[in-house]
Structure 1
Amino acid sequence: MFAYERHQEVRRLLFRYLESPSLRHLREPKQVDRLAEEIVAAVDQSSPLWGKWDAVRAELLKAAAKTWIPIEDLASFLNSLPGPRLTATDVAQRLRAFQEEPHAHLYPDERVKDACLARYSMEVEAGTEMPAIVGALQEFADEEERRLDREWQEKWQAEQAAERLALERRFLSGADCKWTPLEGSKAVFMRRNGRAYRLAPTKEKRWELHRIEEATDAGKLVGVYATRSAANKVIDKIAYEPEFR
């Protein structure tokens, strides 16, 4: 039985138990004992699809799902436990079944593969037993993923900051550029066909578009628009027409 199937069965048993209108019945020790027995039976029942797998084998393999431990090594260890002999295919396909369970999130991260394999080799050489290796690699893989995510986020933020600075410098230099914020302003600025515009939010959550010469100019009001997209359409039209007075 897959994990999600067990969850659904336990949930069904609990809801059935709670249907009783009597609080005295719900609190009766014998009834609670009976519910506990039903839950244990539901959780422990094995699936005919995976006859070679008991709870111990399945739990260890599931724990190893994101660690990149070689399938052959997992099969070798699992075969040292009580139960029918497992082939590498048995292990690989049982692992795939775990990974494909709804909301399982058990696929290993390709980014940490080499690091996990290096750590695995180190633990094997040190004589660490497989369950301890699985636990250590779970922690190691999780931390590596977090580290890589942080590095990606920092790199992305740096790239965004560099792009904003380049746009700001481009606008201030007099070159055409797309909308860009300037430090200290809630508005965004654009230059199209050599003409500068400022788009600022209003208290009514609309947008005021001004034609300006410099960023600090009061400028001339072009219009007030519900969205930035509407203001963009106006600029597309007026940027290449004779200047309005």
Structure 2
Amino acid sequence: MLEDERIWHVRDLVREHVSSPSLRHIRDPAAILSISRRILKVVDRGTGVWQKWQGEREALLKSAVGCWIPTGTLKNYLNLLPGPKLTSTDVAQRMKAIEEEPYSSYPKDELRTGCITIFEEETELGTELPAIIGRIADFVLEEEERERLARERRYKEARTREQDAAEARLMAGADCKWTQLRGAPHVYCRTNGRTYRLSPTTDKKWELFRVDKPSPDDRGEYIGLYSARGNATKVVAELAFQTDYRR
């Protein structure tokens, strides 16, 4: 019966979702939404446009996203699984549709050579396609993690260079925006050649001072207490261009 068949397909989708080794992934709202959509498609597949894709076929193709597996190889293996005969166009267009789904991704060109090298190496050894896909998927994840760490490192290095440049401008006497010297709780800015310091209070407010130089030893001239740095910035913008009686 149709109802019985749909139940089996829903069971396969649920089993696929809960088989993830990551409890965080199983509980992830985006992953739950994705599996919910797939279940809905199975239940309403009578009106769906993809009639050849059920159960293991769909799962295998999804696992191959981003792995650069040749379409012909995928087609031949998928045709060994239950379901109507697939053509290369069936496989290519279904893969394209999966790649365009929310929370999916396109194959990364920079990983293509590495993926194909692994595919050819494992094919020569006679490794079964699902195992090849698994190894390539691991490679893709490792490369993506390596690139993520590299981006973080480049970002931190850029931030360090920016901090160095900001501190250098401040110490050189140039006008600059609020700058925090490393290891100090205060922030300093210089506007119209005048130096100001903001010092945090225990109740998360800011005390504004006019100082001669960015130094913890310079107590400075007290100006006021402010609830946010932006409020102090507005005051500085006005004071910096008023007559300087300190000269």
Structure 1 runs, 4 residues or longer, greater than 6 Å off: 42-46
Shift of 1:100: 5.2
Question: Which moves more between the two structures, 141-150 or 219-228?
Answer: 219-228
CA contact (8 A) 2:176 2:190 kept: yes
Identity across the alignment (%): 40
Distance (whole Å) between structure 2 residues aligned to residue 99 and residue 157 of structure 1: 32
1:197 counterpart residue number: 196
1:238 counterpart residue number: 239
- Please list every run of 5 or more consecutive structure 2 residues that lacks an aligned counterpart in the other structure: 15-39
1:34 counterpart residue number: none
Shift of 1:123: 3.0
Q: Please, what is the CA RMSD of the aligned residues?
A: 3.1
Distance (whole Å) between structure 2 residues aligned to residue 244 and residue 88 of structure 1: 83
1:98–1:84 distance in 2 versus 1, CA, 3 Å: same
CA contact (8 A) 1:171 1:177 kept: yes
1:140 counterpart residue number: 139
TM-score (norm 1): 0.73
TM-score (norm 2): 0.73
Distance (whole Å) between structure 1 residues aligned to residue 192 and residue 112 of structure 2: 51
Letter in 2 for 1:218: R
Shift of 1:244: 5.0
Letter in 2 for 1:183: R
Distance (whole Å) between structure 2 residues aligned to residue 177 and residue 126 of structure 1: 63
1:239–1:97 distance in 2 versus 1, CA, 3 Å: same
1:165–1:146 distance in 2 versus 1, CA, 3 Å: same
Distance (whole Å) between structure 1 residues aligned to residue 136 and residue 233 of structure 2: 52
Question: Which moves more between the two structures, 172-181 or 62-71?
Answer: 62-71
> For 1:22-41, what aligned pairs fall within 5 Å after superposition?
none
Shift of 1:43: 11
Distance (whole Å) between structure 2 residues aligned to residue 242 and residue 206 of structure 1: 28
Letter in 2 for 1:68: W
1:112 counterpart residue number: 111
> For 1:90-129, what aligned pairs fall within 5 Å after superposition?
90-99=90-99, 105-108=103-106, 110=108, 111-129=110-128
Letter in 2 for 1:117: I
1:71 counterpart residue number: 71
CA contact (8 A) 1:66 1:106 kept: no
Distance (whole Å) between structure 1 residues aligned to residue 211 and residue 181 of structure 2: 14
Distance (whole Å) between structure 2 residues aligned to residue 98 and residue 85 of structure 1: 19
Q: Which digits, 9 at most, give the CA deviation of each residue in 1:121-154, with x for residues without a partner?
A: 3333444321111110111111111110000001
CA contact (8 A) 2:185 2:199 kept: yes
- Size of the alignment, in residue pairs? 209
- Please list every run of 5 or more consecutive structure 1 residues that lacks an aligned counterpart in the other structure: 11-41
CA contact (8 A) 2:207 2:226 kept: yes
1:194–1:121 distance in 2 versus 1, CA, 3 Å: farther
Q: Report the 3-state secondary structure (helix = DSSP H, G, I; strand = E; otherwise coil) of the residue aligned with 2:244.
A: coil
Distance (whole Å) between structure 1 residues aligned to residue 63 and residue 156 of structure 2: 34
2:186 counterpart residue number: 187
Shift of 1:6: 4.0
